[in-house]
Amino acid sequence: MDTPTRTKPLAIREDGPLAVNTNSSSTAFFDRIQNNRALAIRLAVAVVALVVIASVFAFVSSHRAEAASSALAEAMQTYDAPIATPDQPVPANMKSFSSLEERAKAANAQFADVANKYGSTDAGRNALYLQGVTAMQAGQNASAEELLKKSSDSWNHDIATLSQMALAGLYRSTARESLAIEQYNKVIAKPSTLVPAGLAQLELAEMYEANGKQAEAKKIYAQIKDKDPKSASAEIATQKLSGPSAQ
Residue 226 has pLDDT above 80, yes or no: yes
Q: Find all residues with CB under 8 Å of 54, minimum gap 6, and list them.
A: none
Which pLDDT band, with edges at 50, 70 and 90, does 23 fall under? very low
Q: Read off the pLDDT of residues 177-198 as tens digits, 9 standing for 90 and up.
A: 999 999 999 999 999 999 999 9
Answer whether 0.75 is exceeded by the pTM.
Answer: no
Residues 6+ apart with CB under 8 A from 11: 38, 42
> What number is the average pLDDT over the span 31-52?
56
In angstroms, the CA 5 to CA 61 distance is 23
Per-residue confidence (pLDDT) for residue 61, from 0 to 100 = 65
CA 7 to chain centre: 33
pLDDT confidence of 228, banded at 50, 70, 90?
Answer: confident
pLDDT in tens, 32-41: 545 555 655 5
Q: What is the pLDDT of residues 68-126, one digit of tens each?
A: 999 999 999 999 999 988 888 888 888 999 999 999 999 999 999 999 999 988 999 99
Class of domain 153-247: mainly alpha
Instruction: For residues 95 and 5, give the distance between their C-alpha atoms in angstroms, rounded to a whole number.
Output: 54
pLDDT score at 26:
52
Q: Where are the domains of the chain?
A: 153-247
